[in-house]
Structure 1
Protein backbone atom coordinates (compact mmCIF):
# COMPACT_ATOMS: atom_id res chain seq x y z
CA UNK A 1 0.00 0.00 0.00
CA UNK A 2 2.76 2.60 0.77
CA UNK A 3 4.28 2.06 -2.68
CA UNK A 4 0.90 2.68 -4.37
CA UNK A 5 0.63 5.90 -2.36
CA UNK A 6 4.12 6.93 -3.54
CA UNK A 7 3.12 6.31 -7.17
CA UNK A 8 -0.03 8.39 -6.68
CA UNK A 9 1.98 11.31 -5.34
CA UNK A 10 4.46 11.04 -8.22
CA UNK A 11 1.62 11.20 -10.74
CA UNK A 12 0.17 14.22 -8.97
CA UNK A 13 3.57 15.85 -9.18
CA UNK A 14 3.31 15.88 -12.98
CA UNK A 15 -0.03 17.70 -12.99
CA UNK A 16 1.41 21.25 -12.58
CA UNK A 17 3.57 20.83 -15.68
CA UNK A 18 0.69 19.38 -17.69
CA UNK A 19 -1.54 22.28 -16.57
CA UNK A 20 1.12 24.79 -17.57
CA UNK A 21 1.41 23.12 -20.95
CA UNK A 22 -2.33 23.32 -21.57
CA UNK A 23 -2.40 26.93 -20.45
CA UNK A 24 0.23 27.85 -23.04
CA UNK A 25 -1.62 26.30 -25.99
CA UNK A 26 -3.16 29.59 -27.13
CA UNK A 27 -0.76 31.97 -25.42
CA UNK A 28 1.52 34.06 -27.66
CA UNK A 29 5.24 33.50 -27.27
CA UNK A 30 7.45 36.60 -27.47
CA UNK A 31 10.35 34.53 -28.83
CA UNK A 32 10.20 31.82 -31.48
CA UNK A 33 11.46 28.55 -30.04
CA UNK A 34 12.03 25.94 -32.74
CA UNK A 35 11.55 22.92 -30.42
CA UNK A 36 10.62 22.41 -26.79
CA UNK A 37 13.15 19.76 -25.82
CA UNK A 38 16.12 20.34 -28.09
CA UNK A 39 15.50 23.75 -29.67
CA UNK A 40 17.29 22.73 -32.87
CA UNK A 41 14.89 21.18 -35.40
CA UNK A 42 11.07 21.19 -35.58
CA UNK A 43 10.95 17.60 -36.94
CA UNK A 44 14.04 15.77 -35.67
CA UNK A 45 15.65 15.91 -32.25
CA UNK A 46 18.29 13.96 -30.35
CA UNK A 47 19.73 14.55 -26.92
CA UNK A 48 22.18 12.47 -24.89
CA UNK A 49 22.65 13.06 -21.17
CA UNK A 50 25.31 11.32 -19.06
CA UNK A 51 24.59 12.10 -15.42
CA UNK A 52 25.83 11.56 -11.88
CA UNK A 53 23.44 10.29 -9.21
CA UNK A 54 24.11 10.92 -5.54
CA UNK A 55 21.98 8.10 -4.18
CA UNK A 56 21.65 6.00 -1.07
CA UNK A 57 20.25 2.47 -0.98
CA UNK A 58 17.66 0.88 1.29
CA UNK A 59 15.42 -2.19 1.31
CA UNK A 60 16.10 -5.90 1.49
CA UNK A 61 17.92 -8.32 -0.77
CA UNK A 62 18.75 -12.01 -1.09
CA UNK A 63 20.90 -12.21 -4.22
CA UNK A 64 21.92 -15.79 -3.49
CA UNK A 65 19.10 -18.27 -3.98
CA UNK A 66 17.73 -19.70 -0.74
CA UNK A 67 20.05 -17.46 1.30
CA UNK A 68 18.62 -15.37 4.16
CA UNK A 69 17.17 -12.00 3.23
CA UNK A 70 19.37 -9.12 4.40
CA UNK A 71 18.18 -5.64 5.35
CA UNK A 72 19.96 -2.84 3.48
CA UNK A 73 20.36 0.70 4.75
CA UNK A 74 23.22 2.60 3.11
CA UNK A 75 23.88 6.30 2.80
CA UNK A 76 25.57 7.74 -0.27
CA UNK A 77 28.92 7.71 1.54
CA UNK A 78 28.48 4.00 2.28
CA UNK A 79 27.61 3.27 -1.36
CA UNK A 80 30.51 5.41 -2.58
CA UNK A 81 32.95 3.62 -0.26
CA UNK A 82 32.04 0.24 -1.76
CA UNK A 83 31.74 1.49 -5.35
CA UNK A 84 33.97 -0.03 -8.02
CA UNK A 85 32.27 1.43 -11.11
CA UNK A 86 29.09 3.26 -12.08
CA UNK A 87 27.57 4.71 -15.24
CA UNK A 88 24.27 6.48 -15.95
CA UNK A 89 23.10 7.78 -19.33
CA UNK A 90 19.78 8.90 -20.77
CA UNK A 91 19.01 9.23 -24.48
CA UNK A 92 16.02 10.92 -26.07
CA UNK A 93 15.09 10.98 -29.76
CA UNK A 94 12.10 12.41 -31.64
CA UNK A 95 10.75 12.41 -35.20
CA UNK A 96 7.73 14.66 -35.62
CA UNK A 97 5.46 13.53 -32.77
CA UNK A 98 7.02 10.06 -32.31
CA UNK A 99 9.51 9.78 -29.45
CA UNK A 100 12.00 7.20 -28.17
CA UNK A 101 13.63 7.16 -24.75
CA UNK A 102 16.30 4.91 -23.23
CA UNK A 103 17.92 4.96 -19.81
CA UNK A 104 20.95 2.87 -18.80
CA UNK A 105 22.10 2.25 -15.23
CA UNK A 106 25.18 0.26 -14.20
CA UNK A 107 26.52 -0.08 -10.66
CA UNK A 108 29.31 -2.41 -9.49
CA UNK A 109 30.13 -2.62 -5.78
CA UNK A 110 32.38 -4.71 -3.54
CA UNK A 111 31.99 -4.99 0.21
CA UNK A 112 33.63 -7.01 2.95
CA UNK A 113 31.31 -8.71 5.41
CA UNK A 114 30.41 -11.89 7.20
CA UNK A 115 27.89 -13.95 5.28
CA UNK A 116 25.86 -16.77 6.77
CA UNK A 117 23.67 -19.45 5.28
CA UNK A 118 24.97 -19.47 1.72
CA UNK A 119 24.17 -22.65 -0.23
CA UNK A 120 27.07 -25.13 -0.41
CA UNK A 121 29.21 -22.80 1.71
CA UNK A 122 27.61 -22.06 5.08
CA UNK A 123 28.87 -19.23 7.27
CA UNK A 124 31.96 -17.48 5.93
CA UNK A 125 33.89 -14.22 5.87
CA UNK A 126 35.05 -12.52 2.73
CA UNK A 127 34.03 -10.08 -0.01
CA UNK A 128 30.88 -9.89 -2.09
CA UNK A 129 30.78 -8.28 -5.54
CA UNK A 130 27.34 -7.11 -6.72
CA UNK A 131 26.60 -5.84 -10.21
CA UNK A 132 23.32 -4.13 -11.06
CA UNK A 133 22.40 -3.40 -14.66
CA UNK A 134 19.11 -1.84 -15.77
CA UNK A 135 18.17 -0.77 -19.29
CA UNK A 136 14.81 0.74 -20.17
CA UNK A 137 13.50 1.41 -23.66
CA UNK A 138 10.23 3.21 -24.32
CA UNK A 139 8.56 4.58 -27.40
CA UNK A 140 5.61 6.92 -27.51
CA UNK A 141 3.69 9.80 -28.96
CA UNK A 142 3.73 13.53 -28.22
CA UNK A 143 0.14 14.15 -27.15
CA UNK A 144 0.67 17.89 -26.67
CA UNK A 145 3.16 20.19 -28.37
CA UNK A 146 3.65 23.95 -28.37
CA UNK A 147 6.51 26.40 -28.59
CA UNK A 148 6.80 26.44 -24.81
CA UNK A 149 5.70 23.03 -23.55
CA UNK A 150 5.19 19.38 -24.45
CA UNK A 151 3.69 16.19 -22.99
CA UNK A 152 4.68 12.68 -24.16
CA UNK A 153 2.94 9.36 -23.43
CA UNK A 154 5.29 6.33 -23.36
CA UNK A 155 5.21 2.54 -23.23
CA UNK A 156 7.96 -0.08 -23.34
CA UNK A 157 9.98 -2.33 -21.05
CA UNK A 158 12.85 -2.43 -18.56
CA UNK A 159 15.48 -5.18 -18.40
CA UNK A 160 17.09 -5.92 -15.03
CA UNK A 161 20.17 -8.08 -14.42
CA UNK A 162 21.65 -8.78 -10.97
CA UNK A 163 24.93 -10.67 -10.65
CA UNK A 164 26.61 -11.52 -7.35
CA UNK A 165 29.96 -13.19 -6.73
CA UNK A 166 31.27 -14.10 -3.30
CA UNK A 167 34.91 -14.77 -2.40
CA UNK A 168 34.57 -16.51 0.93
CA UNK A 169 37.00 -17.99 3.43
CA UNK A 170 35.81 -20.69 5.79
CA UNK A 171 37.81 -23.24 7.78
CA UNK A 172 41.00 -21.93 6.20
CA UNK A 173 39.82 -22.52 2.64
CA UNK A 174 38.71 -19.96 0.08
CA UNK A 175 35.65 -20.68 -2.03
CA UNK A 176 33.95 -18.78 -4.82
CA UNK A 177 30.23 -18.72 -5.41
CA UNK A 178 28.48 -16.85 -8.23
CA UNK A 179 24.83 -16.39 -9.10
CA UNK A 180 22.81 -14.18 -11.42
CA UNK A 181 19.17 -13.56 -12.15
CA UNK A 182 17.33 -11.26 -14.53
CA UNK A 183 13.84 -10.26 -15.54
CA UNK A 184 11.88 -7.95 -17.86
CA UNK A 185 9.24 -5.48 -16.69
CA UNK A 186 6.60 -3.96 -18.98
CA UNK A 187 6.41 -0.22 -18.35
CA UNK A 188 4.36 2.86 -19.12
CA UNK A 189 5.46 6.46 -18.70
CA UNK A 190 4.74 10.15 -19.00
CA UNK A 191 7.08 13.05 -19.68
CA UNK A 192 6.24 16.73 -19.34
CA UNK A 193 8.40 19.69 -20.33
CA UNK A 194 7.96 23.43 -19.74
CA UNK A 195 10.18 26.38 -20.68
CA UNK A 196 10.23 29.39 -18.35
CA UNK A 197 12.69 31.55 -20.33
CA UNK A 198 14.81 30.99 -23.47
CA UNK A 199 17.55 29.55 -21.21
CA UNK A 200 15.66 28.05 -18.27
CA UNK A 201 13.30 25.05 -18.37
CA UNK A 202 12.03 22.15 -16.27
CA UNK A 203 11.26 18.52 -17.04
CA UNK A 204 9.41 15.78 -15.15
CA UNK A 205 9.35 12.10 -16.08
CA UNK A 206 7.77 9.06 -14.45
CA UNK A 207 7.71 5.36 -15.35
CA UNK A 208 5.59 2.62 -13.78
CA UNK A 209 6.32 -1.05 -14.45
CA UNK A 210 6.38 -4.63 -13.29
CA UNK A 211 2.67 -5.25 -12.69
CA UNK A 212 3.60 -8.72 -11.37
CA UNK A 213 4.87 -9.78 -14.81
CA UNK A 214 8.57 -9.51 -13.89
CA UNK A 215 8.79 -7.66 -10.61
CA UNK A 216 5.77 -7.05 -8.44
CA UNK A 217 6.09 -3.30 -8.99
CA UNK A 218 8.73 -0.83 -10.11
CA UNK A 219 8.73 2.90 -10.62
CA UNK A 220 11.16 5.68 -11.28
CA UNK A 221 10.67 9.42 -11.37
CA UNK A 222 12.96 12.32 -12.24
CA UNK A 223 12.46 16.07 -11.90
CA UNK A 224 15.14 18.45 -13.22
CA UNK A 225 15.76 22.13 -13.77
CA UNK A 226 17.70 22.78 -16.99
CA UNK A 227 19.86 25.69 -18.13
CA UNK A 228 21.14 26.21 -21.69
CA UNK A 229 24.84 26.88 -22.01
CA UNK A 230 24.73 27.07 -25.82
CA UNK A 231 22.68 25.83 -28.76
CA UNK A 232 24.03 22.31 -28.27
CA UNK A 233 24.78 21.98 -24.55
CA UNK A 234 22.83 22.40 -21.32
CA UNK A 235 23.18 21.39 -17.68
CA UNK A 236 20.47 19.75 -15.60
CA UNK A 237 20.10 19.37 -11.85
CA UNK A 238 17.30 17.73 -9.92
CA UNK A 239 16.14 14.64 -8.05
CA UNK A 240 15.66 11.00 -9.08
CA UNK A 241 13.86 8.07 -7.42
CA UNK A 242 14.00 4.39 -8.36
CA UNK A 243 12.08 1.61 -6.63
CA UNK A 244 11.81 -2.08 -7.56
CA UNK A 245 10.26 -5.05 -5.74
CA UNK A 246 11.28 -8.42 -7.21
CA UNK A 247 10.53 -11.70 -5.40
CA UNK A 248 10.72 -14.86 -7.50
CA UNK A 249 12.38 -18.30 -7.45
CA UNK A 250 14.05 -17.77 -4.09
CA UNK A 251 15.56 -14.41 -5.07
CA UNK A 252 14.61 -11.13 -3.38
CA UNK A 253 15.56 -7.68 -4.64
CA UNK A 254 13.31 -5.08 -3.00
CA UNK A 255 15.28 -1.83 -3.00
CA UNK A 256 14.83 1.92 -3.14
CA UNK A 257 17.34 4.45 -4.45
CA UNK A 258 16.87 8.21 -4.37
CA UNK A 259 18.97 11.34 -4.40
CA UNK A 260 20.11 14.41 -6.36
CA UNK A 261 21.19 14.12 -9.99
CA UNK A 262 23.29 16.41 -12.17
CA UNK A 263 23.88 15.93 -15.88
CA UNK A 264 25.30 17.47 -19.03
CA UNK A 265 23.12 17.26 -22.16
CA UNK A 266 24.37 17.31 -25.74
CA UNK A 267 21.69 18.11 -28.34
CA UNK A 268 21.55 17.66 -32.07
Structure 2
Protein backbone atom coordinates (compact mmCIF):
# COMPACT_ATOMS: atom_id res chain seq x y z
CA UNK A 1 0.00 0.00 0.00
CA UNK A 2 3.04 2.31 -0.10
CA UNK A 3 1.83 3.92 -3.35
CA UNK A 4 -1.57 4.79 -1.88
CA UNK A 5 0.08 6.17 1.31
CA UNK A 6 2.37 8.39 -0.74
CA UNK A 7 -0.55 9.61 -2.86
CA UNK A 8 -2.63 10.35 0.22
CA UNK A 9 0.27 12.28 1.77
CA UNK A 10 0.65 14.37 -1.39
CA UNK A 11 -3.06 15.15 -1.55
CA UNK A 12 -3.16 16.02 2.16
CA UNK A 13 -0.17 18.35 1.92
CA UNK A 14 -1.70 20.16 -1.06
CA UNK A 15 -5.05 20.58 0.66
CA UNK A 16 -3.52 21.94 3.86
CA UNK A 17 -1.38 24.38 1.91
CA UNK A 18 -4.31 25.77 -0.09
CA UNK A 19 -6.41 28.58 1.33
CA UNK A 20 -9.73 27.50 2.94
CA UNK A 21 -12.88 27.79 0.89
CA UNK A 22 -16.53 26.89 1.12
CA UNK A 23 -17.67 23.34 0.40
CA UNK A 24 -17.00 22.51 -3.24
CA UNK A 25 -18.51 20.09 -5.71
CA UNK A 26 -16.02 17.26 -6.27
CA UNK A 27 -17.11 14.57 -8.71
CA UNK A 28 -15.84 11.19 -9.89
CA UNK A 29 -12.48 9.98 -8.54
CA UNK A 30 -11.46 9.05 -12.07
CA UNK A 31 -11.65 12.64 -13.27
CA UNK A 32 -13.16 15.21 -10.93
CA UNK A 33 -14.01 18.71 -12.00
CA UNK A 34 -10.92 20.85 -11.84
CA UNK A 35 -12.43 24.28 -11.45
CA UNK A 36 -14.29 23.94 -8.19
CA UNK A 37 -17.64 25.68 -7.99
CA UNK A 38 -20.25 25.61 -5.27
CA UNK A 39 -23.61 24.22 -6.29
CA UNK A 40 -26.84 23.50 -4.50
CA UNK A 41 -28.08 19.92 -4.21
CA UNK A 42 -26.71 16.76 -5.75
CA UNK A 43 -24.21 16.51 -8.61
CA UNK A 44 -23.48 13.42 -10.68
CA UNK A 45 -20.75 12.01 -12.91
CA UNK A 46 -20.24 8.87 -14.97
CA UNK A 47 -16.87 7.72 -16.26
CA UNK A 48 -16.49 4.86 -18.74
CA UNK A 49 -12.85 3.81 -18.78
CA UNK A 50 -10.38 1.47 -20.45
CA UNK A 51 -7.94 -0.55 -18.35
CA UNK A 52 -5.07 -2.18 -20.26
CA UNK A 53 -4.30 -4.63 -17.46
CA UNK A 54 -2.09 -7.67 -17.45
CA UNK A 55 -2.56 -10.51 -14.96
CA UNK A 56 -0.28 -12.59 -12.77
CA UNK A 57 -0.85 -15.04 -9.93
CA UNK A 58 -2.35 -18.48 -9.31
CA UNK A 59 -5.69 -20.03 -10.24
CA UNK A 60 -7.22 -23.42 -9.53
CA UNK A 61 -10.36 -25.28 -10.66
CA UNK A 62 -12.19 -28.44 -9.59
CA UNK A 63 -9.84 -28.97 -6.64
CA UNK A 64 -6.89 -29.62 -8.97
CA UNK A 65 -3.41 -28.15 -8.28
CA UNK A 66 -3.19 -24.40 -8.96
CA UNK A 67 -1.75 -23.10 -12.21
CA UNK A 68 0.50 -20.05 -12.31
CA UNK A 69 -0.66 -17.26 -14.65
CA UNK A 70 1.54 -14.57 -16.16
CA UNK A 71 -0.14 -12.72 -19.03
CA UNK A 72 0.44 -9.23 -20.31
CA UNK A 73 -2.39 -7.17 -21.80
CA UNK A 74 -1.50 -8.26 -25.33
CA UNK A 75 -2.04 -11.91 -24.40
CA UNK A 76 -5.43 -11.11 -22.83
CA UNK A 77 -6.52 -8.91 -25.74
CA UNK A 78 -6.07 -11.78 -28.21
CA UNK A 79 -8.71 -13.81 -26.38
CA UNK A 80 -10.96 -11.01 -25.13
CA UNK A 81 -14.61 -11.40 -26.14
CA UNK A 82 -16.13 -8.49 -24.25
CA UNK A 83 -15.29 -5.94 -21.56
CA UNK A 84 -17.26 -3.20 -19.81
CA UNK A 85 -15.84 -0.76 -17.24
CA UNK A 86 -17.35 2.36 -15.68
CA UNK A 87 -17.33 4.48 -12.53
CA UNK A 88 -20.28 6.55 -11.33
CA UNK A 89 -20.68 9.02 -8.48
CA UNK A 90 -23.33 11.14 -6.79
CA UNK A 91 -22.19 13.87 -4.38
CA UNK A 92 -23.86 16.21 -1.94
CA UNK A 93 -21.59 18.65 -0.13
CA UNK A 94 -18.99 16.50 1.70
CA UNK A 95 -20.93 13.24 1.22
CA UNK A 96 -20.61 10.92 -1.77
CA UNK A 97 -21.97 7.66 -3.13
CA UNK A 98 -19.99 5.85 -5.81
CA UNK A 99 -19.79 2.64 -7.79
CA UNK A 100 -17.19 0.90 -9.95
CA UNK A 101 -18.22 -1.87 -12.37
CA UNK A 102 -15.76 -4.17 -14.11
CA UNK A 103 -16.74 -7.10 -16.34
CA UNK A 104 -14.62 -9.19 -18.72
CA UNK A 105 -15.19 -12.34 -20.76
CA UNK A 106 -12.26 -14.26 -22.21
CA UNK A 107 -12.34 -17.44 -24.29
CA UNK A 108 -9.83 -19.60 -26.09
CA UNK A 109 -9.75 -22.94 -27.90
CA UNK A 110 -7.09 -25.44 -28.80
CA UNK A 111 -6.88 -28.71 -30.73
CA UNK A 112 -5.48 -31.71 -28.89
CA UNK A 113 -2.39 -33.48 -30.31
CA UNK A 114 -3.98 -36.85 -31.16
CA UNK A 115 -7.70 -36.18 -30.90
CA UNK A 116 -8.48 -39.49 -29.19
CA UNK A 117 -9.75 -38.22 -25.84
CA UNK A 118 -11.01 -34.99 -27.45
CA UNK A 119 -10.49 -33.28 -30.77
CA UNK A 120 -10.42 -29.81 -29.23
CA UNK A 121 -10.89 -28.07 -25.90
CA UNK A 122 -12.65 -24.70 -25.49
CA UNK A 123 -12.30 -22.60 -22.34
CA UNK A 124 -14.41 -19.55 -21.45
CA UNK A 125 -13.89 -17.39 -18.35
CA UNK A 126 -16.02 -14.55 -16.96
CA UNK A 127 -15.11 -12.10 -14.18
CA UNK A 128 -17.35 -9.49 -12.59
CA UNK A 129 -16.37 -7.06 -9.83
CA UNK A 130 -18.92 -4.49 -8.66
CA UNK A 131 -18.04 -1.98 -5.95
CA UNK A 132 -20.57 0.26 -4.21
CA UNK A 133 -19.47 2.64 -1.48
CA UNK A 134 -19.86 5.91 0.36
CA UNK A 135 -17.44 8.59 1.43
CA UNK A 136 -16.99 11.71 3.53
CA UNK A 137 -14.52 14.53 2.83
CA UNK A 138 -12.32 15.02 5.88
CA UNK A 139 -10.37 17.68 3.97
CA UNK A 140 -11.98 19.89 1.32
CA UNK A 141 -11.26 23.30 -0.17
CA UNK A 142 -11.04 25.09 -3.52
CA UNK A 143 -8.09 22.93 -4.60
CA UNK A 144 -9.60 19.52 -3.98
CA UNK A 145 -10.63 16.93 -1.44
CA UNK A 146 -9.50 13.94 0.58
CA UNK A 147 -12.28 11.43 1.35
CA UNK A 148 -12.46 8.58 3.81
CA UNK A 149 -14.44 5.84 2.03
CA UNK A 150 -15.90 2.42 2.69
CA UNK A 151 -17.92 -0.04 0.65
CA UNK A 152 -18.66 -3.55 -0.53
CA UNK A 153 -17.31 -5.31 -3.60
CA UNK A 154 -19.22 -8.24 -5.11
CA UNK A 155 -17.10 -10.70 -7.08
CA UNK A 156 -18.20 -13.40 -9.49
CA UNK A 157 -15.72 -15.57 -11.37
CA UNK A 158 -16.55 -18.65 -13.45
CA UNK A 159 -14.84 -20.90 -15.97
CA UNK A 160 -16.47 -23.28 -18.48
CA UNK A 161 -14.56 -26.09 -20.21
CA UNK A 162 -16.09 -28.00 -23.15
CA UNK A 163 -14.77 -30.83 -25.34
CA UNK A 164 -15.43 -31.55 -29.00
CA UNK A 165 -14.65 -34.79 -30.81
CA UNK A 166 -13.04 -37.93 -29.41
CA UNK A 167 -14.26 -39.86 -26.40
CA UNK A 168 -15.32 -36.69 -24.53
CA UNK A 169 -17.29 -35.18 -27.40
CA UNK A 170 -20.08 -32.95 -26.07
CA UNK A 171 -18.89 -33.15 -22.48
CA UNK A 172 -18.20 -30.06 -20.37
CA UNK A 173 -17.70 -28.83 -16.85
CA UNK A 174 -17.98 -25.52 -14.98
CA UNK A 175 -16.48 -24.12 -11.79
CA UNK A 176 -16.78 -20.71 -10.17
CA UNK A 177 -17.57 -18.69 -7.07
CA UNK A 178 -19.39 -15.57 -5.90
CA UNK A 179 -18.38 -13.64 -2.80
CA UNK A 180 -18.47 -10.22 -1.13
CA UNK A 181 -15.61 -8.21 0.40
CA UNK A 182 -15.70 -5.12 2.60
CA UNK A 183 -13.24 -2.36 1.67
CA UNK A 184 -12.08 0.89 3.26
CA UNK A 185 -9.50 3.52 2.40
CA UNK A 186 -8.87 6.97 0.97
CA UNK A 187 -9.83 8.72 -2.24
CA UNK A 188 -8.98 12.21 -3.39
CA UNK A 189 -7.86 14.81 -5.92
CA UNK A 190 -5.73 17.91 -6.00
CA UNK A 191 -5.87 20.59 -8.70
CA UNK A 192 -2.45 21.76 -9.84
CA UNK A 193 -4.00 24.39 -12.13
CA UNK A 194 -7.53 25.20 -13.31
CA UNK A 195 -7.07 22.53 -15.99
CA UNK A 196 -4.62 19.95 -14.64
CA UNK A 197 -5.08 17.80 -11.52
CA UNK A 198 -3.94 14.70 -9.68
CA UNK A 199 -6.41 12.01 -8.61
CA UNK A 200 -6.34 8.58 -7.05
CA UNK A 201 -7.51 6.10 -4.42
CA UNK A 202 -6.30 3.32 -2.17
CA UNK A 203 -8.64 0.63 -0.77
CA UNK A 204 -8.00 -2.59 1.15
CA UNK A 205 -10.19 -5.16 2.87
CA UNK A 206 -11.50 -8.69 2.76
CA UNK A 207 -14.38 -10.92 3.73
CA UNK A 208 -15.09 -13.73 1.31
CA UNK A 209 -11.50 -13.26 0.10
CA UNK A 210 -8.47 -13.37 2.35
CA UNK A 211 -7.49 -9.94 1.03
CA UNK A 212 -8.89 -7.56 -1.58
CA UNK A 213 -7.07 -4.34 -2.50
CA UNK A 214 -7.24 -1.62 -5.14
CA UNK A 215 -4.79 1.25 -5.78
CA UNK A 216 -4.82 3.84 -8.57
CA UNK A 217 -3.24 7.19 -9.37
CA UNK A 218 -3.47 9.47 -12.37
CA UNK A 219 -3.26 12.90 -13.89
CA UNK A 220 -6.26 14.55 -15.54
CA UNK A 221 -7.25 17.41 -17.79
CA UNK A 222 -10.55 19.31 -17.88
CA UNK A 223 -11.73 20.34 -21.34
CA UNK A 224 -14.73 22.22 -19.92
CA UNK A 225 -17.22 22.01 -17.06
CA UNK A 226 -18.86 18.91 -18.56
CA UNK A 227 -16.03 16.77 -19.95
CA UNK A 228 -12.83 15.65 -18.25
CA UNK A 229 -10.21 13.00 -19.07
CA UNK A 230 -7.63 11.15 -17.01
CA UNK A 231 -4.71 8.80 -17.59
CA UNK A 232 -2.89 6.83 -14.93
CA UNK A 233 -2.05 3.42 -13.52
CA UNK A 234 -4.17 0.96 -11.54
CA UNK A 235 -3.38 -2.24 -9.65
CA UNK A 236 -6.01 -4.56 -8.16
CA UNK A 237 -5.43 -7.78 -6.27
CA UNK A 238 -7.62 -10.49 -4.75
CA UNK A 239 -6.78 -13.70 -2.90
CA UNK A 240 -9.79 -16.04 -2.74
CA UNK A 241 -10.00 -19.79 -2.20
CA UNK A 242 -12.91 -22.07 -1.31
CA UNK A 243 -13.94 -25.64 -2.07
CA UNK A 244 -11.21 -26.21 -4.66
CA UNK A 245 -11.70 -22.89 -6.47
CA UNK A 246 -8.68 -20.58 -6.21
CA UNK A 247 -8.24 -17.04 -7.54
CA UNK A 248 -5.07 -15.39 -6.22
CA UNK A 249 -4.20 -12.77 -8.83
CA UNK A 250 -2.97 -9.23 -9.36
CA UNK A 251 -4.16 -7.18 -12.33
CA UNK A 252 -2.28 -4.00 -13.19
CA UNK A 253 -1.72 -1.64 -16.08
CA UNK A 254 -2.45 1.81 -17.57
CA UNK A 255 -5.95 3.21 -17.20
CA UNK A 256 -7.70 5.85 -19.32
CA UNK A 257 -11.07 7.44 -18.60
CA UNK A 258 -13.49 10.07 -19.88
CA UNK A 259 -15.88 11.66 -17.36
CA UNK A 260 -19.19 13.31 -18.10
CA UNK A 261 -20.49 15.67 -15.40
CA UNK A 262 -24.14 16.63 -15.02
State TM-score, norm by structure 1. Answer: 0.86
| 1:1-268 equivalences in 2 (<5 Å) | 7-26=1-20, 35-36=25-26, 37-38=32-33, 39=36, 41-43=38-40, 44-62=42-60, 64-113=61-110, 125-169=120-164, 170-171=166-167, 173-210=169-206, 213-268=207-262
Please give the per-residue CA displacement for 1:72-105, whole angstroms capped at 9, x wherever unaligned: 0111110000100001101121112111111000
Task: Give the drift of 1:123.
Answer: 8.8
SS at match of 1:262: strand
Please give the per-residue CA displacement for 1:4-56, whole angstroms capped at 9, x wherever unaligned: xxx24432332111111111144x8xxx9953433455343211100011111
Structure 2 unaligned segments of length 5 or more: list them.
27-31
Please give the per-residue CA displacement for 1:100-135, whole angstroms capped at 9, x wherever unaligned: 1110000100023589xxxxxx99850110000000
State TM-score, norm by structure 2. Answer: 0.88
CA shift in 2, pair 1:220/1:114, >3 Å? farther
Task: Give the drift of 1:186.
Answer: 0.7
Checking the alignment, whether the CA contact within 8 Å between 1:85 and 1:108 is kept in structure 2 is yes
Looking at structure 2, the residues matched to 230 and 124 of structure 1 have their Cα atoms a distance apart, in angstroms, of 57
Task: Give the drift of 1:255.
Answer: 0.6
Task: Give the drift of 1:229.
Answer: 1.1
SS at match of 2:62: coil
Looking at structure 1, the residues matched to 213 and 118 of structure 2 have their Cα atoms a distance apart, in angstroms, of 35
Structure 1 unaligned segments of length 5 or more: list them.
1-6, 116-121
Give the number of aligned pairs: 249
CA shift in 2, pair 1:195/1:220, >3 Å? same
Checking the alignment, whether the CA contact within 8 Å between 1:89 and 1:104 is kept in structure 2 is yes
